Chains A and B, each alone.
Chain A
């Protein structure tokens, strides 16, 4: 079987980013709530933090976010999937940048640019029941190219 395994091993070795995962980071931590995230974009990691980790989540959270754009973001869309106990309980899609409605000042920035955003996300207050939740978040552009892919874990005590 050795001869058959060789190409697969070579594949794994030659493409380290395909198999290795990015480190799990802490976006915020409090004695009642913890928010962890991990990049699921095989090409790169990103930076993210939330100013307060209250439960219930307070209105208009302030976040900080930094990444390098791998593609232009003339148009940018956000997909969020919330999982509780392994089941998808909530999902939605939201346009962040549109050609005729660039909502944020970073809309229209180009491939290769470093983007840093510090500001509100306009959320409403939200109580989080005890337990562990998973959120799959994906930002993608008009060609469906991934700008950011993130696995969030919410731990509520």
Chain B
């Protein structure tokens, strides 16, 4: 607490009281951070050699990475009996001795990533009733027999990535009944045998990660009649090795993508033949080169989802048949000139289409997606989309479309009733796409079901009061980054038609004032974001109509809050006033008192600091106590001070006079 007395003595008081505060902060810095009182503690990077005594015995979640615990013993964690989560990443652990976690019955998650383990005792993991996640990533393991198997029957996630393992075989003593995730990423597994896969049979719906293992062969029939939730063979040199090995298997998601830093074979259609003899719902082939895109679809018939991100595609052949099950197609980061080159008619059941980050200028053409009667989600963001008038010709027949993302594209001109072809739209995103509305003042007219509209940084004409006509159902509107004429949100503004709004974002709009009644009709507003404007308290008249709103006024120009605004603030749910040049002198005393009484409503109090007077610059508002009338104690101090001054003067004067006369 910083107590500040009015008058010149406050410097002294301030300095005196700040000093013990600093000392406290230093000792706290060496200790752990309390995330949730008595429950969650973070002790990362402190170079600790033991569990600090200061941690309460009730601690459940402990982040203890980057400390120094060469050997874990029975006594190491015995005091923290309630531990549920324990992260010991890079603690230079060499030994985990017998019964190291004996007293931690509730322990569920143990992370041991990056520890140079030499030996783990047989009974190391005994004690926890249900150990569910065990991470042994990069612990130098050369064999899974290194892991003591006692008490691991509840394990759901086992991570063994970045080790030196050469086989995926689990010991027969390991019970994999509950195992859901088995991660062998970046090991040295080159061969997979029938016996290896058989050791995983107990697990149901397992997700097996073999990314970054250079698998050279899989024994014939190894995966025969096995079922996996997901299989990841990312970065493999020759995908046909995997596809041949997976004959007669069933997998929900098969990840066969590659990477920029991995050298692999170009894919010819016959390399994908193996796909015809297995069941896969979702396939990812990112970063591969197809030597001939005409034949690649021959074994894709059973797929529901296909991800061809960054596969250098310029077009699809038009004669693909039998793709009636395709629901989701991802074609991000490719090289299409025209949306019609996708030949969308081949995938008539598509519900989700993503053409994000196209590397060429993408012409949306006319009716290119017209055959996609079930299309619900369409993402064309970051794709250099060019079009002159949008969007009825481009989106022809997309009557089921609910989500449309056209953000981060070239400038678009919206025609009247621009989305007449997709009346079911619920979410529309145009962020960072410059919009012209010269053709019609109300382009969104028929979108009665639209709930979310992102027009941030679209440079829309905010003076056009007709812009949002027709959006009766709109709940979320982002108008951030669109400048308002002369910085004023007038009484009659474009927000009047959208009276069901719950979230309104007007950040970085260059606003200096909000006229009375500007939010008149917005009775349901829950969150109003006015960050990064130049609002002063005299320009906040419009807020009096809001009740129970989360009001974000951070990064504005508010100095003094007049008493008549305090009841308006009081009726809101949360207020953020951080990063404003707030005045902490007696002229703002009523607000400062209100602030302390309403701390529970304040968001980001750490950054809500004083600007004036200079002595208090940077001090948190919650730490300021002004005393604007001179108190009795203050007066007696002053009197005492004066008396002392006079006394001193007399003594000095006498001394001076005596010396002067002595010289004569």
A binding-site residues for B, Cβ under 8 Å: 3-4, 7-8, 10-11, 14-15, 43, 68, 70, 100-114, 117, 119-120, 122
A-B contact pairs, 28 of them (CB 8 A): A4-B19, A8-B22, A14-B26, A14-B29, A100-B330, A101-B286, A101-B310, A101-B332, A102-B234, A102-B257, A102-B286, A103-B259, A103-B260, A104-B259, A105-B212, A105-B235, A105-B261, A107-B259, A109-B162, A110-B135, A110-B137, A110-B161, A112-B89, A112-B90, A112-B113, A113-B113, A113-B162, A120-B260
- In the complex, the answer to whether A111 meets B89 with C-beta atoms within 8 Å is yes
- In the complex, the answer to whether A101 meets B114 with C-beta atoms within 8 Å is no
User: 9 smallest A-B Cβ distances: which pairs?
Assistant: A112-B89, A112-B114, A112-B113, A7-B22, A119-B261, A105-B259, A112-B90, A103-B260, A113-B138
Given A3-B19, A43-B45, A104-B259, verify A11-B26 contact (CB < 8 Å): yes
Question: Does B279 sit within 8 A of A, measured CB to CB?
Answer: no
Residue in A14, A43, A107, A114 whose beta carbon sits within 8 Å of that of B114 in the complex: A114
A68 to B114, CA, bound (A): 9
- In the complex, the answer to whether A105 meets B286 with C-beta atoms within 8 Å is no
B residues 71-89 touching A (CB-CB < 8 Å): 89
B residues 85-123 touching A (CB-CB < 8 Å): 89-90, 111, 113-114
Given A112-B138, A113-B113, A113-B138, verify A101-B333 contact (CB < 8 Å): yes
- In the complex, the answer to whether B113 meets A105 with C-beta atoms within 8 Å is no
A105 to B235, CA, bound (A): 7
Closest approach, in angstroms, between the C-beta of B289 and any C-beta of chain A? 15
Residue in B135, B159, B260 whose beta carbon sits within 8 Å of that of A104 in the complex: B260
Question: Does B652 sit within 8 A of A, measured CB to CB?
Answer: no
B binding-site residues for A, Cβ under 8 Å: 15, 19, 22-23, 25-26, 29-30, 45, 65-66, 89-90, 111, 113-114, 135, 137-138, 159, 161-162, 185, 211-212, 234-235, 257, 259-262, 286-287, 307, 309-310, 330, 332-333
- In the complex, the answer to whether A117 meets B261 with C-beta atoms within 8 Å is yes
Q: Which residues of A contact B135 (CB under 8 A)?
A: 110
Q: Which residues of B contact A7 (CB under 8 A)?
A: 19, 22-23, 26
- In the complex, the answer to whether A104 meets B23 with C-beta atoms within 8 Å is no
Q: Which residues of A contact B138 (CB under 8 A)?
A: 112-114
- In the complex, the answer to whether B162 meets A100 with C-beta atoms within 8 Å is no
Closest approach, in angstroms, between the C-beta of B32 and any C-beta of chain A? 15
- In the complex, the answer to whether A113 meets B261 with C-beta atoms within 8 Å is no
Q: Which residues of A contact B260 (CB under 8 A)?
A: 103-104, 120, 122
Closest approach, in angstroms, between the C-beta of A22 and any C-beta of chain B? 15
Closest approach, in angstroms, between the C-beta of A9 and any C-beta of chain B? 10
Q: Which residues of A contact B89 (CB under 8 A)?
A: 111-112
Q: Which residues of A contact B19 (CB under 8 A)?
A: 3-4, 7
Closest approach, in angstroms, between the C-beta of A1 and any C-beta of chain B? 10
A122 to B135, CA, bound (A): 34
- In the complex, the answer to whether A112 meets B137 with C-beta atoms within 8 Å is yes
Q: Which residues of A contact B234 (CB under 8 A)?
A: 102, 105
Residue in B26, B90, B114, B307 whose beta carbon sits within 8 Å of that of A10 in the complex: B26
- Report the nearest B residue to A103, measured CB to CB: B260
- In the complex, the answer to whether B22 meets A113 with C-beta atoms within 8 Å is no
Closest approach, in angstroms, between the C-beta of A8 and any C-beta of chain B? 8
Q: Which residues of A contact B310 (CB under 8 A)?
A: 101, 103
Residue in A70, A105, A109 whose beta carbon sits within 8 Å of that of B262 in the complex: A105
| Known contacts A3-B19, A103-B260, A111-B89, then 14 further A-B pairs from the complex at CB < 8 Å, ordered by chain A residue | A4-B15, A7-B22, A14-B29, A101-B310, A101-B332, A101-B333, A102-B259, A103-B259, A104-B260, A105-B259, A108-B211, A109-B161, A120-B260, A122-B260
Interface centre among A3, A14, A101, A120 (most CB of B within 10 A): A101
A68 to B260, CA, bound (A): 21
Residue in A14, A111, A112, A120 whose beta carbon sits within 8 Å of that of B261 in the complex: A120
Closest approach, in angstroms, between the C-beta of B408 and any C-beta of chain A? 13
A11 to B26, CA, bound (A): 6
A102 to B284, CA, bound (A): 12
A109 to B159, CA, bound (A): 12
Interface centre among A7, A104, A120 (most CB of B within 10 A): A7
A10 to B302, CA, bound (A): 68
